[in-house]
Amino acid sequence: MFSNILRRLLAAIPMLLAISVASFLLLHALPGDPTAVLLGQEATPEQMAQVRQELGLNRPLHVQYFDFLGNVLRGDFGRSFFSGRPVADELALKVPATIELALAAMLLASIVGISLGVLAAVRPRGVMDFLCLGFALVGVSMPIFWLGFLAQQALAGGAGILPFGGRYDTATWEGFVPATGFFILEAMFRYNSVELTLELLHHLALPAMVLATVPTALIARMTRANMLEVLGQDYIRTARAKGLSTTPIVMRHALRNALIPVITSIGTQFGYLLGGAVLTETIFSWPGLGTYVVHAVIILDGKPLQASVLVVATFFVAVNLLTDISYTLIDPRLRHGGAA
């Protein structure tokens, strides 16, 4: 087991190095000169040459990369050309907001998706099975931006049940001064406020539901397929022959074995949510990493864009690595040295 975990940890190192190279080259692939973005179009060639020298942009590319890699390992992503602030400080506020949204969406997708998949598999070719398959088809086919606007009109505009966007009502909660980007944790443990926690969850609900649509459909479809395969095994037929009722068979025997590949899918989908929340955050004015990337692209601010790509890709590798490790811990065949 430990050799499998160590092998996966070592395999992640060259992947992270490749991500750092791609992130570094991204800044040089952007159109235009970063010094022109920093100084403006009225800058003279002498001023631009001076700034390029101060920023080290006139040095060889490989020297710039190793400087970049050393700074990243120290947690220094440079400064934003637009705001002048350290990018690391801005990411410290943006990344937790995206993690909070992605965790809520993934939790919702896992609960609903697994439940729908189990219900569909218990009675195949029944009403619930067709409803589950229809939902999965619609969920993976519906554009996320259209679904977001539709949800806003239905639940926020028409019914007025949920707010249009934002993380909380700043006018009502003027005294809320969060120190980190994890607002819900601060409301619960630092401010000890049930009302503020409910306010934050109220604003989180709609974007989390929209973001959870695609992973819910995928998890439901995978759970159904795995449950049907497990329910057809000999030991399930033996359990039925012994007189066990449907609920213990499904929950104690079938579901536990069917969830092993589903857990891998959940980890992969969570990695995609961290990087794929751009449209959802933009629609609902969610101040996370997605809106940060969109703003950096619009103004051609290279350092935030470079750092965001590096952070998202690193998160994706880390989540998949943790998923592989959890898969090793759950599956007895891998735990006892079986085929990986």
**In this structure, what CATH number is given to the domain that contains residue 318?**
1.10.3720.10
- Whether residue 5 lies inside any domain: the answer is no
Provide the pLDDT for residue 208. Answer: 93
Q: Give the whole-angstrom CA distance, residue 47 versus residue 162.
A: 51
- Whether residue 64 lies inside any domain: the answer is no
Provide the pLDDT for residue 340. Answer: 42
| Sites in the chain below the pLDDT cut of 70 | 1, 4, 30-34, 36-41, 55, 275-276, 327-340
Indicate the number of domains in the chain: 1
Task: Check: CB of residue 325 under 8 Å from CB of residue 12.
Answer: no
Q: Alpha-carbon dihedral of residues 283, 285, 286, 291, nearest 10 degrees?
A: 80
Provide the pLDDT for residue 205. Answer: 93
Range of the domain at 248: 97-335
pTM of the model: 0.84
Provide the pLDDT for residue 331. Answer: 62
- Whether residue 311 lies inside any domain: the answer is yes
Tokens of 127: 């009403």
Provide the pLDDT for residue 32. Answer: 63
Provide the pLDDT for residue 156. Answer: 83
- Whether residue 133 lies inside any domain: the answer is yes
Q: Give the whole-angstrom CA distance, residue 338 versus residue 99.
A: 34
- Whether residue 68 lies inside any domain: the answer is no
Q: What is the DSSP letter of 56?
A: T
Provide the pLDDT for residue 336. Answer: 55
- Whether residue 66 lies inside any domain: the answer is no
Provide the pLDDT for residue 1. Answer: 61
- Whether residue 205 lies inside any domain: the answer is yes
Q: Give the whole-angstrom CA distance, residue 308 versus residue 77.
A: 10
- Whether residue 190 lies inside any domain: the answer is yes
Task: Check: CB of residue 195 under 8 Å from CB of residue 169.
Answer: no
